[in-house]
Chain A
Amino acid sequence: MPPRALLRAPRGFSAPAFLAYLAVILLVALVPQLSHKPLILHMWIMVFLAIAQGSAWNVVGGYAGQYSVGHAAYFGIGGYITMLLLEQHQVAPWYGIGLAVAGSLILSVIIGSITFRLRGPYFVLASIAMAEIIRLAALHFRDFTRGAEGILLSGIPPLTTPWFTVKFLGKVPFFYATLGLAVIVVSANWLVQHSKLGYTFQAIREDQDAAHSLGINPTLHKNLALMISAAFTASAGGLFALYVRFIDPNIAFGIDVSVQMVLICIIGGIGTILGPVVGSVVLVLLSETLRNPKWLVQAGVMSDESPTVNFIEAHLSNAHVLFYGVLVVVVVLFAPEGFLGLLRGATARLRKRLAARRGPPSRPAAAA
């Protein structure tokens, strides 16, 4: 018997799943009403940004199967355009991010038309090279980007609408802004998976030549996937720069930005809607805990005097990359479909066991 599809695409719209999704968003949106502890809110914001980045990468890497390790190019261009417009031309960031998205679309078309001539590992290398070229350019053209000095944000003007005014003080506005972006990008993944575009992307991922013979234009659709991905990545980059109030070529265009986006998907489950969400939670918890374990104290999980917190602060604050490495090896060896694949496998086995207990299994249904 050939294996049944474990990671089968869900069939279209399901009302209970949609309601559950809405409920989760609403619950999460209540968090700042319950607690204003800055380190906790910081964790959430980092998770939302990671979800936005991972899900954005997932469109081109997960669905279309083009493993770009150069997405820092779009993240950085988003951050730089937003910051430069705000600091030098006083363009409000909500317009700035819009222009950053436009810039990233142009950049993605240029990079795509060059790198998509290559396949497999050659494409990966070319994508890394593109991001590095931009990083080095950002370092070099000091008059324009201020080079390695970076750009420090002096302040964000308040957002005034006829109904309300938002002052960008503290973490709460960023909590909602990043949550909103994460919701948009995850929803975009759902739309891609449940449309002709998703089938097209996946066919290219599985076999580009076969897809080509079935009426799919691979070059066009790979570029489309990259454009969607780049636009969301640039939005995340813009929000990130505004949130940390500083940007320099290494923060914006460094290869660890690109690698992190890939790792989120690999660890969570590549080419699935929830995979990047799961991967973001795992990776951000890991890296932020190692960098600043004090959030555990604020969360009330550990006391201020806890030896664990002190040990992490003293010895492991720079070890997150090491932990990433170990985690990736473990996932690739033991859970090639990521944490989400593990979860689904476990629930499938559980369901089978329950069904077996309920009565002798009838003839296995061929298509369910």
Chain B
Amino acid sequence: MPAILEIQHVSKHFGGLAANSDVSFDVGLGEIVGLIGPNGAGKTTLFNCITGYYPPTRGEVLFKGVRVNGLQPDAVCRLGMVRTWQKVRPLAKMTVLDNVMVGALARTHSLRVAREAAREQLHVVRLEGKAGFLAGGLPIGERKKLEVARALATRPELLLLDEVMGGLNQSESEEIILLILELKRLGLTQVVIEHDMKAIMRLSDRLVVLNSGEKLAEGPPREVATNRDVITAYLGEAVDA
């Protein structure tokens, strides 16, 4: 499988704190990579480094073979890589449809074309009934969906999802899982940060585990789940060890 995203020896330091150190892995075209790790492991920092919010202190990020570290987020988006936010960021005083149109306008100058594309994306995430509502008034489950729809409207080739299931109930999570799998079937490559282990095991083709900013393990979900280091990172060492 050709790699669409190559993360090579990426480090990000904030003063003396190493939020990421020497993280390397590839994301293959069409696969879903799960990015897991305890709180503070550096998952979101890595997203920020990949999408241009932080310049990495060291290392390279290649997207479709093009070096993207040093690019601004808007340039990264136009290249075809888009992220969602763990803490959702609806454009509160704009309608749901207008929110998604903002995403669609990354690819067109025509409001009419953007409106059509936005309606399509709202249909994909089943929010078409809320098109005329203000985004700021949506409940959390629908805000998360809006976040995904808006990102999809930019027509990405790689979608980075930062805890889209956080704070959702069982049935809402299930909807998102089915959506992610459907997008995969349509050929969209995705990197998913998720805390819900059951969900991430089911979704991912491959797991990458971060701990204290370093890559701890990488591999098929089953293998990673039984990895001793991973278990230690999540649960701590045995008392007598």
- Seen from chain A, the residues whose Cβ lies within 8 Å of a Cβ on chain B are 2-5, 7-9, 12, 194-196, 199-200, 202-203, 206-207, 209-218, 366-368
Contact = CB atoms under 8 A, between A and B. Distances in A.
Nearest to A218: B74
Given A215-B77, A367-B129, A2 B94 contact: no
B135 to A, nearest CB: 8
Q: Which among A194, A200, A366 has the highest number of chain B CB atoms within 10 Å?
A: A366
Contacts of A200: 102, 105
20 contacts: A2-B130, A3-B133, A195-B111, A196-B105, A196-B114, A199-B102, A202-B93, A202-B94, A202-B102, A206-B91, A209-B53, A210-B85, A210-B91, A212-B72, A213-B51, A213-B85, A214-B154, A215-B105, A216-B106, A366-B133
B157 to A, nearest CB: 14
A212 B102 CA distance: 11
A137 B108 CA distance: 45
Given A5-B133, A206-B90, A212-B72, 18 more contacts: A2-B130, A5-B95, A5-B132, A7-B93, A9-B95, A12-B111, A195-B111, A196-B114, A199-B98, A207-B92, A211-B102, A214-B82, A214-B154, A215-B74, A215-B105, A216-B74, A216-B102, A367-B128
A203 B133 contact: no
A88 to B, nearest CB: 44
Nearest to A194: B111
Interface residues of B, number: 40
B230 to A, nearest CB: 30
Contacts of B83: 213
B73 interface: yes
Contact of B98 (A9, A195, A215, A218): A9
Given A212-B74, A213-B51, A199 B105 contact: yes
A111 B94 CA distance: 29
B216 interface: no
Contacts of A209: 53, 85, 89
A217 B111 contact: no
Contacts of B128: 367
Contacts of B199: none
Contacts of B133: 2-5, 366
A211 B103 CA distance: 8
Interface in B93-123: 93-95, 97-98, 101-103, 105-106, 109, 111, 114
Interface in B192-237: none
B74 A217 contact: yes
A3 B95 CA distance: 10
B134 interface: yes
A229 B132 CA distance: 30
Contact of B132 (A4, A199, A212): A4
Nearest to B93: A206
A108 B196 CA distance: 50
Contact of A8 (B53, B82, B95): B95
A210 B87 CA distance: 11
- List the 7 shortest-distance A-B pairs measured between CB atoms, nearest first: A2-B137, A215-B106, A206-B91, A210-B89, A367-B132, A215-B77, A367-B131
B109 A196 contact: yes
Contacts of A4: 132-134
B65 interface: no
B94 A366 contact: no
Contacts of A214: 74, 77, 82, 102-103, 106, 150-151, 154
Nearest to A208: B89
A196 B106 CA distance: 10
A8 B139 CA distance: 20
Contacts of A9: 95, 98
Q: Which among A7, A202, A206, A213 has the highest number of chain B CB atoms within 10 Å?
A: A213
